[in-house]
Amino acid sequence: MAPYDHDHSGGGKQGGAGPHCPVCKAPAAEATKPFCSKRCADIDLHRWLAGVYRVPTKEKPEDEEEKK
Ligand SMILES: [Zn+2]
C-alpha cells in the first residue's frame, strides 16, 4: 500500500482543481504531488511510518504468515 493512499483526488471529479496537500491543504506542486512541498511530503511520510511501526503488543507475531 502506498503511503499516499488516503488522498482521494485520483477520480478527477473535482471541477478541474488539482490535488491539494493533505497536510496543509495548499495546492499540490508538480514535483511533490499530492503535496505542496517536500516538507509536507516528509511530514506525511513520517506520520505514515509512525503508524506502520506502531506494532500492537500481541503474543502471536506469526499470525499473518500461518494462514496459508
Ligand atoms: Zn503542504
Q: How far is the centre of ligand 1, averaged over its atoms, from the C-alpha of 37 (Å)? A: 6
Q: How far is the centre of ligand 1, averaged over its atoms, from the C-alpha of 2 (Å)? A: 18
Q: What does the pLDDT read at residue 53?
A: 76
**Domain residue spans in the chain?**
18-53
Q: How far is the centre of ligand 1, averaged over its atoms, from the C-alpha of 60 (Å)? A: 39
Q: Average pLDDT of 52-60?
A: 71
Neighbours of ion ligand 1 (CB under 5 A): 21, 23-24, 26, 36, 40
pTM of the predicted model as reported, rounded to 2 decimal places: 0.51
CATH topology of domain 18-53: Erythroid Transcription Factor GATA-1; Chain A (3.30.50)
Residues 4-47 have pLDDT tens digits of 555 555 544 444 577 999 999 999 999 999 999 999 999 999 99
Specify the range with the lowest mean pLDDT, choosing from 27-31, 46-50, 63-67. Answer: 63-67
User: Nine-digit cell at 40?
Assistant: 509536507
Angstrom CA distances, 33 to 1, 3, 30, 40, stand at 17, 12, 6, 10
pLDDT grade for 60, boundaries at 50, 70 and 90: low
